[in-house]
Structure 1
Amino acid sequence: MFKHLRKWFVAHCFGHSRQRTRLVSKDGRCNIEFGNVDAQSRFIFFVDIWTTVLELKWRYKMTVFITAFLGSWFLFGLLWYVVAYVHKDLPEFHPADNHTPCVENINGMTSAFLFSLETQVTIGYGFRCVTEQCATAIFLLIFQSILGVIINSFMCGAILAKISRPKKRAKAITFSKHAVISKRGGKLCLLIRVANLRKSLLIGSHIYGKLLKTTVTPEGETIILDQTNINFVVDAGNENLFFISPLTIYHIIDHNSPFFHMAAETLSQQDFELVVFLDGTVESTSATCQVRTSYVPEEVLWGYRFVPIVSKTKEGKYRVDFHNFSKTVEVETPHCAMCLYNEKDARARMKRGYDNPNFILAEVDETDDTKM
């Protein structure tokens, strides 16, 4: 029991320090920050204000939303107060009984703010209204109405676009917790399982991968996060996937694969990150989305395969058991890709008679013993 407690203590206290740094987290977020960005480059975020507001977090977006409306109401309320003050419509000026104000019933800053609110949101209670006495008030009314429509359109559009972003649809796409390496179709493959939790399809789906690792060029340059293409396929290819049920995508480990020189014993010692991407178009909104996840060497299991999860019920329906989505079972697998291909070559040579120690070439002296 003491041994189990010690293992648990070591795993929980020192395991986090051995975790590898990821560029892409399991849920697809990128672990990267930009430093020493000059002020001119930061100004670009204000030029593209729509994208900036759209990418804000909800707490910041709601702050901008509330500030924009309250700020515009207060600003125009202040302008209405100035108009009433200049025209001497306020009670402290003791206007005559026959005096016609620019705006009826504005008695101070509070009433001016309420009139600004009623004007911009088109409530129109009827107690306060603009008269035809001064052109300044009419111009200010027109200007506030137009600017209010622009603010409403921008802010409501930003909220709607934030809610309907295809990034939320991507949350319904899930990848297996681990990747596995085993034989498939007589070839050594790296396999990953992906599932669509919604019944609506992703149209024109395309899946691919990038292997990120630190490399040193022949010139001595060290490249961090050097990218290598990883081709993933299913039985029907890697484009236009019929993504209605969970799929097992695989990468063939051949001579062109970066996994070819890796072995079961050395896999955990490697330093790489496998990032998998799935691009597609949402069927209901026609918006494109991208789902991504990553795997580090500790999450790649050599000599395992996924447990089947699709079955057929008595009623004739196909049932997907997501309880076994990431479960794996151990299978017999060569400990390296090179061994598998060398074994195949050896078998082929044996069939052709090459390198067969039992094969002896005997020379026969063919003489004609027929005597006439």
Structure 2
Amino acid sequence: MINRKAEVQRRIVSKDGHNNVRIDNVEGMVRLYLHDIWTTVVDMKWRYKLTLFSSTFVMTWFTFGVIFYFIGLGNGDFDAGLNSNHTPCMMNVETLTGAFLFSLESQTTIGYGFRYITEECPLAMFTLVAQLVITGLAEIFVTGAFLAKLARPKKRAETIKFSQLAVICRHQGKLCLMVRVANMRKSLLIQCQLTGKLFHSNVTQEGEKTQIHQSSVDFYMDSSSECPFLILPLTFYHILDDQSPLAGLTSENLCTREFELLVTLNATMESTAATCQSRTSYIPQEILWGYEFKPVLFSTTGGGYVADFNFFDKVQARNDANFLSNNSEKEKHEEDYKNE
């Protein structure tokens, strides 16, 4: 394999699928985020989410504790020399700390024993009902957002592996651009579909130049653009014909062209039926002309197969001599696995 040093080039999507576009100078960004508070909370980083999760309980306990304290203060429960016939709003609540503990016990449904509310204070009863309703809704929201982040298929997409390089060679008599994709888990991904977008500058017929123009790049496996399941490392290819947005690409102008190929795999998780999406991108320096992927799948003596990911990103030059030696090389690797 020829070592090619990638030059520094702007990328819209990083190799691990993250967005490199920064949004700046948006008026009212905070207001927009607050309007969609659910997505904002779900997208929070874990350290902020855990802080929000814990602070929601502590703040509601303290806030309603202060309210209960002022209710007792207004009722004269904390005055010195109270009449023996005086009935306080909350029994055994004499300080702000006691009011906080009463609020905590009420919200967590620990049960009343030492501190409890009396029938002589309707305002305290109304506050107690309001606390249980409001904090119940807040707990449902925060807990739901917590569980939604845990169940997001984003983490499942991290176990989908793309080849670091793309290759261009002939496949079934046609010049094709190929990428390799693999599922790193034993659980199946079904209804898999690989799509591509080509980002490049473009000049319209009216003479308007666009810095980023998007063109669709279709990827196929055999005769279909969709595979039933992803259980083996698969190679998807794009035909470089006249209809391709990469038409006119040659080995000479490959390194001088400026474009970025975004590759996206959409799949459904068999275990949960949730959809997941994994992305990567390739720039011209990461595309090898005249190379093919080395075999990664070998048979074993037990009648099964093994996918050796030591060869997942390995490529070899494509020529007639290599075509003749491919089978012997694969048989050699299979023989090594049988002897192990």
Structure 1 residue 70 corresponds to structure 2 residue 58: yes
Structure 1 residue 103 corresponds to structure 2 residue 90: yes
Structure 1 residue 59 corresponds to structure 2 residue 51: no
In the alignment, the residues of structure 2 paired with residue 99 and residue 68 of structure 1 have an alpha-carbon distance, to the nearest angstrom, of 35
Could you say what secondary structure the match of 1:127 adopts? coil
Q: Which digits, 9 at most, give the CA deviation of each residue in 1:48-104, with x for residues without a partner?
A: 2111101111122122222222221111011000111011112x4332233221111
In the alignment, the residues of structure 2 paired with residue 97 and residue 158 of structure 1 have an alpha-carbon distance, to the nearest angstrom, of 50
Q: TM-score normalised to the size of structure 2? A: 0.89
In the alignment, the residues of structure 2 paired with residue 195 and residue 328 of structure 1 have an alpha-carbon distance, to the nearest angstrom, of 16
1:319 maps to which residue?
Answer: 306
- Deviation, 1:216, is 1.5
1:339 maps to which residue?
Answer: none
Structure 1 residue 275 corresponds to structure 2 residue 262: yes
How many aligned positions are there?
Answer: 317
Which residue of 84, 94, 110 corresponds with 2:72? 84
In the alignment, the residues of structure 1 paired with residue 38 and residue 145 of structure 2 have an alpha-carbon distance, to the nearest angstrom, of 8
Could you say what secondary structure the match of 2:176 adopts? strand
Could you say what secondary structure the match of 1:148 adopts? helix
In the alignment, the residues of structure 1 paired with residue 43 and residue 120 of structure 2 have an alpha-carbon distance, to the nearest angstrom, of 46
- Deviation, 1:265, is 1.9
In the alignment, the residues of structure 2 paired with residue 175 and residue 134 of structure 1 have an alpha-carbon distance, to the nearest angstrom, of 67
- Deviation, 1:220, is 2.1
Residues 121, 148 of structure 1: 8 Å contact kept: no
1:28 maps to which residue?
Answer: 17
In the alignment, the residues of structure 1 paired with residue 314 and residue 81 of structure 2 have an alpha-carbon distance, to the nearest angstrom, of 84
- Within 5 Å, give how 1:327-338 maps onto structure 2: 327-332=314-319
Structure 1 residue 162 corresponds to structure 2 residue 152: no
Structure 1 residue 205 corresponds to structure 2 residue 192: yes
- Deviation, 1:42, is 4.2
In the alignment, the residues of structure 2 paired with residue 23 and residue 61 of structure 1 have an alpha-carbon distance, to the nearest angstrom, of 28
Q: Which digits, 9 at most, give the CA deviation of each residue in 1:126-172, with x for residues without a partner?
A: 21111111111111111111112111111111111101101111111
Could you say what secondary structure the match of 2:156 adopts? helix
2:8 maps to which residue?
Answer: 19
In the alignment, the residues of structure 2 paired with residue 132 and residue 240 of structure 1 have an alpha-carbon distance, to the nearest angstrom, of 68
In the alignment, the residues of structure 2 paired with residue 273 and residue 254 of structure 1 have an alpha-carbon distance, to the nearest angstrom, of 19
- Deviation, 1:242, is 2.3
Residues 221, 227 of structure 2: 8 Å contact kept: no
Identity of aligned residues (%): 47
- Deviation, 1:252, is 0.8
1:49 maps to which residue?
Answer: 37
Q: TM-score normalised to the size of structure 1? A: 0.82
2:99 maps to which residue?
Answer: 112
- Give 5+ residue unaligned stretches, structure 1: 1-10, 334-372
2:241 maps to which residue?
Answer: 254
- Within 5 Å, give how 1:136-285 maps onto structure 2: 136-285=123-272
Runs of at least 4 residues off by over 6 Å: none
| One-letter amino acid of the structure 2 residue matched with residue 30 of structure 1 | N
Structure 1 residue 134 corresponds to structure 2 residue 121: yes
In the alignment, the residues of structure 1 paired with residue 317 and residue 85 of structure 2 have an alpha-carbon distance, to the nearest angstrom, of 97
- Deviation, 1:236, is 4.3
In the alignment, the residues of structure 1 paired with residue 38 and residue 275 of structure 2 have an alpha-carbon distance, to the nearest angstrom, of 19
